[in-house]
Every structure is written in structure tokens, then in C-alpha cells.
């Protein structure tokens, strides 16, 4: 079964084609992303109106490229008069992110998916963006039948920080969430305070790499909010404020950017890893997953891998390949495949952008 995935919930316009073999093995055939980062950089963050306009410009070229790379040329060919014939080697469904996200951005992907599903007479699949991030860990990996439940998933992105318990395919229970800023949002705001630009995660990670303890003139110590709380919730707003105050009190902070970046990153990683391990133990989870844009962070990947090896030797850790960590459509198509396999389709008339969509 071949699925076209479309993603436009935030600032990446993306399309991908994946193929599932019915035995739980998912192969990514094409994965095209048009990023708007360079455009939003000048504003220091994502401007929704600008994002939507860019999606409108990019969405058809991106889909066309994803189909061409998957050797599905005839969908847009004048020879087939815009029809995409069903059958072997051709598409079986169109999966699209319907939420959560920026409403005007979502609408571009959803309306395009509707038009294509109508024109090509293909079933639509409505995909939750967070669910997409969860399935990113399965794209191009082993047969998904190897996954053992329960699974604990930490989804950390610019918009979300969620701990999710999955007792079976499609059965999600949110056991923890941020009470204020998402982890990625905290990285973005911290980077802004440090004058490192947007997006903040990669900028802070890069600056932190330059940290050299021998060259730092003093110790910087930031809080680890809620690290010992009994629940599985998070809070990153206080950490960001602590950083801003520390900088304010430090006339020489410009010479300590790598020191501040290092400590900020360590604080976020400490909290995320500690909570993920606690949740895994509490629910006796057999599989641990880390997903979302922040899962691109090398230090987080390293500390989590080492900690799981030492403290959870019976659990299997799944982290997406780097290219599937930040927003992409391969993850949407992969999640869509699971819905399509169960014949959980949405007719084009019912595909609708849902900016506040929740998981489950």
C-alpha cells in the first residue's frame, strides 16, 4: 500500500510517499521538505500569515517532487487528464495533517489534500501531527510487529512537550505535559535572549558544543524545574526566566555564551531524561520513544541512550533518524498507513483543519 503524506501545520511544507508491505515494514520512498526557516529568521519566530502564504506557493511543487521521486509521474500528467489511476504502483490514499497547528497553515495542506483526493478519487486519511511525530520513529525501521507494549513516548517539539503512554496501536493516554512553554519553545526563547537567532534549538546546541570548562571563568547553575515532582508534568518557563535574569546580572555574558548555552541544554536534558525514565519505570514500559524536533538534539540523544542502557536494560529505545525528527511528511504518511490499514479513512468532504486537535 502506497500513501502520499502532506504536512503544513507550521513552517515546513512537506510531502512524502511511503510504502507499507502489510507485514508492518514501512519504507520511505520520497521525503521532500521546503523549509521557511530563512524567511522567519528575520522576524525571530514564525509569523502565521507569512507561513500560510509560503505554503500556498510551495505545496504543489513539493507534492509534485515527492511523487516524481517516487516515480508516480502520471498524477500530474496532462496525458491522464489529472487523474491518478488506482492500482499497483500507484497511490492508495492521501494522508494529511489536520491538527494541531496554525490554522491558516493547516488549511493549505488540508485543502490541497481534499482537492487531490477528489480529483484522483482516493480516500483521505486525517492525521494528528503529534501522532505523526510518534510514527516518525518507525519510518524505515524494522517490522513494527517487533514493538512491544506498553510504549512510553516523549514528544518534544516547538509546540509540544508530552509524555504519552501507548498500550496498543492507536491507544494513546497523555500522562504528562508541559504546564507552560514547550521544550523547543524554551530553546527558541533562550536562544533569543542569548542573541543566537532562530530556531533556537540547533543554535544553542552548536554554542554549547564550544563550551570549554577550562575557559569558563565561573560556574553557571540553572534550575531543573519539576525534576522531582511526583507527576509527569514539565515546566520550562521558569528555566527561561532564570537564564534571562542570570544574563541581566552578568555584564560579561557575551563572553560566556557557550557556558550559558551548555548549562541551559544540560538543564533541559536532565529534566526530560529523568521524567522519561521515571515514566518508563512507573508503567513498566517495554519500549521507550523520543520524538519531535527537540529529539534532533545530539546531547539529549546521547544522554538518553546511555541512561536507558544503564537504568532500563530491558527496554528498547527508539529514536527517529535525524531527518524524521523535525516536521516532515514521511511521519504523516507512516501514521496514515496505520489508519489506512484499518480502513480508517476520512472522505474528502470531512477533512477539516483542527488547530486544537488533541491526541487520542
Residues within the interface to ligand KG4 (CB under 6 A): 10, 157-159, 184-185, 187-188, 199-202, 205, 292-294, 296-297, 326-327
Q: Name the helix (H) or strand (E) containing 164.
A: strand 161-168
210 DSSP assignment: T
Q: Which stretch binds Zn ion (CB under 5 A): 42-50, 78-86, 135-143, 155-163?
A: 155-163
157 touching Zn ion, by CB under 5 A: yes
Contact pattern for Zn ion over residues 317 through 336, marking x by CB under 5 A: ----------x---------
Q: Which does 202 bind (CB under 5 to 8 A by kind): Zn ion, ligand KG4, none?
A: ligand KG4
Q: Which lies closer to ligand KG4 via its Cβ, residue 10 or residue 151?
A: 10
Nearer to Zn ion (CB atom), residue 58 or residue 157? 157
Nearer to Zn ion, 97 or 258 (CB): 97
Burial 164-188 (b: 16+ CB within 10 A, else e): bbbeeeeebebbbbbeebbbbbbbb
Beta carbon nearer to Zn ion, 20 or 100: 100
- Shortest Å distance, C-beta 359 to Zn ion: 13
| Residue 296 near which of ligand KG4, Zn ion, none (CB within 5-8 Å, type-dependent) | ligand KG4
The minimum distance between CB 112 and ligand KG4, in angstroms, equals: 19
Yes or no: say if 68 and 77 are a contact pair by the CB < 8 Å rule: no
Taken in order 332, 334, 337, 339, is the CA torsion positive or negative? negative
CA gap 323, 340 in Å, rounded: 24
CA–CA distance, 81 with 90 (Å, rounded to integer): 16
271 versus 315: smaller Cβ distance to ligand KG4: 271
| Beta-carbon-side half-sphere exposure of residue 144 (alpha carbons within 13 Å) | 22
- Cβ–Cβ contacts within 10 Å for residue 356, how many? 8
The Cα–Cα gap between 86 and 83 comes to 9
Please give the grid coordinates belonging to residue 298: 545530539
Provide CB contacts within 8 A for 38, sequence distance 6+.
none
Q: Which is nearer to ligand KG4, 67 or 186 (CB)?
A: 186
Position 8 contacts Zn ion (CB under 5 A): no
Cβ of residue 268: shortest distance to ligand KG4, in angstroms? Answer: 8
Instruction: Find which of Zn ion, ligand KG4, none residue 199 binds, CB within 5 to 8 Å per kind.
Output: ligand KG4
Where does this chain bind Zn ion (CB under 5 A)? 157, 327
Amino acid at each position: 500500500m502506497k500513501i502520499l503524506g502532506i504536512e503544513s501545520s507550521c513552517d515546513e511544507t512537506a510531502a512524502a510517499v511511503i510504502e507499507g508491505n502489510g507485514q508492518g515494514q514501512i519504507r520511505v520512498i520520497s521525503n521532500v521538505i521546503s523549509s521557511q526557516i530563512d524567511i522567519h529568521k528575520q522576524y525571530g519566530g514564525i509569523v502565521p500569515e507569512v507561513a500560510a502564504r509560503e505554503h500556498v506557493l510551495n505545496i504543489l511543487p513539493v507534492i509534485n517532487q515527492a511523487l516524481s521521486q517516487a516515480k508516480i509521474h502520471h498524477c500530474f500528467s496532462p496525458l491522464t487528464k489529472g487523474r491518478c489511476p488506482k492500482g499497483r504502483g500507484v497511490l492508495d490514499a492521501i494522508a494529511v495533517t489536520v491538527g494541531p497547528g496554525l490554522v491558516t497553515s493547516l488549511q493549505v495542506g488540508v485543502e490541497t489534500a481534499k482537492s487531490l483526493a477528489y480529483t484522483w478519487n482516493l480516500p483521505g486519511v486525517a492525521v494528528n501531527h503529534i501522532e505523526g511525530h510518534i510514527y516518525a520513529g518507525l519510518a524505515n525501521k524494522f517490522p513494527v510487529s517487533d514493538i512491544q507494549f506498553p510504549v512510553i513516548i516523549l514528544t518534544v517539539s516547538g509546540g509540544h512537550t508530552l509524555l504519552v503512554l501507548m498500550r496498543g496501536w492507536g491507544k494513546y493516554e497523555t500522562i504528562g505535559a508541559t504546564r507552560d512553554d514547550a521544550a523547543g519553545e524554551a530553546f527558541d526563547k533562550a536562544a533569543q535572549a542569548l542573541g543566537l537567532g532562530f530556531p533556537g534549538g540547533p543554535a544553542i546546541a552548536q554554542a554549547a558544543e564550544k563550551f570549554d570548562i577550562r575557559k569558563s571563568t565561573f560556574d553557571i547553575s540553572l534550575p531543573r524545574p519539576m525534576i522531582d515532582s511526583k507527576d509527569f508534568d514539565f515546566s520550562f518557563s521558569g528555566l527561561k526566566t532564570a537564564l534571562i535574569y542570570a544574563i541581566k546580572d552578568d555584564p560579561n555574558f557575551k563572553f560566556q555564551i557557550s557556558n550559558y548555552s551548555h548549562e541551559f541544554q544540560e538543564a533541559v536534558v536532565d529534566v526530560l531524561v529523568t521524567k522519561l525514565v521515571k515514566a518508563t519505570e512507573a508503567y513498566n514500559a517495554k519500549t521507550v520513544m523520543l520524538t519531535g524536533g527537540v529529539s534532533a538534539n545530539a546531547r539529549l540523544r546521547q544522554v538518553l541512550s546511555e541512561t536507558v542502557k544503564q537504568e532500563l536494560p530491558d527496554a528498547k529505545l527508539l529514536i527517529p533518524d535525524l531527518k524524521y525528527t523535525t516536521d516532515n511528511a514521511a511521519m504523516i504518511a507512516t501514521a496514515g498507513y496505520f489508519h489506512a490499514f484499518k480502513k480508517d479513512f476520512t472522505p474528502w468532504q470531512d477533512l477539516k483543519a483542527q488547530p486544537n486537535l488533541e491526541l487520542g
